[in-house]
Structure 1
Amino acid sequence: MEKDSGDGKQNTADMTQFVSSFTFDFQNRFQTINVLDEMGERISELEQSINDLRAEMGAEGTQPPPSPSKKDGSA
């Protein structure tokens, strides 16, 4: 029994579509990972800036304002 050449073309088209779809999905996931990495770096930089400001405030002898939720100890 001889195979129809149309089946081969369909299999090739199916495989091409699969590879194309897989590549597209892979690229999207990779871009998402890159965005998350960039966000993580920016957060780290922000944390470092905050820590630097706190250290600078401490070096100047500036005390943070008292927390409004704390009482003076009287009951």
Structure 2
Amino acid sequence: MADMKQELKSVDDQQNYSTSDPKNMQELTQHVQSLLQGMQDKFQTMSDQIITRIDEMGNRIDDLEKNIADLMTQAGVEGPDK
């Protein structure tokens, strides 16, 4: 009789688990997707910031090269041939 009760309890546990499992799995999936989307958004923001800073540095380097060339011209020094 105890074995029969144990088997029924096991079947009930399996049924409860299986009926709640899709809901929990769906919630977990949504949570994971939300976390991944948040990480992707942050990564994209950081990537955009890095690219912007690299572009700004490139512009500053171009300006420095032009200023150095102008100064060398004013000083009468020939710049390196390019």
Q: TM-score range by the shorter chain?
A: 0.7 to 0.9
TM-score norm. by structure 2 comes to: 0.69
Instruction: Give the match for residue 48 of structure 1.
Output: 62
Q: Which runs of 5+ in 2 are unaligned?
A: 1-10, 78-82
Instruction: Give the match for residue 49 of structure 2.
Output: 35
Give the fraction of aligned pairs with identical amino acids, expressed as a percent: 6
How far 1:7 moved relative to its partner?
1.1
4+ residue runs of structure 1 moved beyond 3 angstroms? Answer: 1-4
TM-score norm. by structure 1 comes to: 0.75
Is 1:25 the counterpart of 2:39? The answer is yes
CA distance in 2, matches of 1:44, 1:62: 27
Number of equivalences: 63
Rg larger in structure = 2
Residues 1-20 of structure 1: pairs in structure 2 closer than 5 A:
2=15, 4-20=18-34
CA offset digits 1:3-56 (Å, max 9, x no partner): 632111000000000000001001101110110000000001001111110011
How far 1:59 moved relative to its partner?
1.1
CA distance in 2, matches of 1:20, 1:45: 38
Q: Give the letter for the 2:45 counterpart.
A: Q
**Pairwise CA RMSD of aligned residues?**
1.7
